[in-house]
Amino acid sequence: MNYWLFKSEPDEYSLDDLKGEPGQTGRWDGIRNYQARNFLRDQVEEGDGVLLYHSACKVPAVAGTARVVRSAYPDPAQFDPESKYYDPKASSENPRWFCVDIQWQSEFARPVSLKAIKQNPELAEMVLVKQGRLSIQPVTAAEWKLMEKLGN
């Protein structure tokens, strides 16, 4: 099993939004960065753990966890001309963008802020600290365990 950090702006899609979906399961779509896409397409698998990180808000923080319940499939938004994620270069024969389905698992009692993450020497090597802008990023098992401990 692998672990990941997925970023979302909470006013667009939050941990609470995921929890409110039917079956507490939602599509993680709209990824339009090639490195993040490659992680989704090639490495994220059913059963993997996900830290949900709220970005572009007053206090950026890991809010809780989810589990991948469906591995990568073509993001349908890339084919919809009405979608802000439409890509005219994508086709059903040659999709460019992928998504996964995730299911809510838990909400942290205390969201783990970016400030707290950066101040913790045990998390100094986290991709979030080293390459902050990436919307899908790997997390080590040790980082996952420490994040759960800090959040609960």
Return the domain boundaries, the chain. 3-151
HSE-up of residue 72 (Cα within 13 Å, Cβ side): 17
Q: How far apart are CA 108 and CA 69, in angstroms?
A: 20
- pLDDT, tens digit (0-9, with 9 covering 90-100), for 13-55: 999 999 999 999 999 999 999 999 999 999 999 999 999 999 9
The pTM of the full predicted model, rounded to 2 decimals, is 0.95
Looking at the domain that runs over 3-151, which CATH code has it been given? 3.10.590.10
Q: What is the pLDDT of residue 146?
A: 98
Give yes or no for residue 132 having a pLDDT over 80. no
DSSP, residue by residue, 63-124: EEEEEEEEEEEE-GGGG-TTSTT--TT--SSS---EEEEEEEEEEEEEEEEHHHHHH-GGGT
Q: What is the pLDDT of residue 131?
A: 86
- Rounded mean pLDDT of 96-101? 98
Specify which residues 53 forms β-bridges with.
7, 62
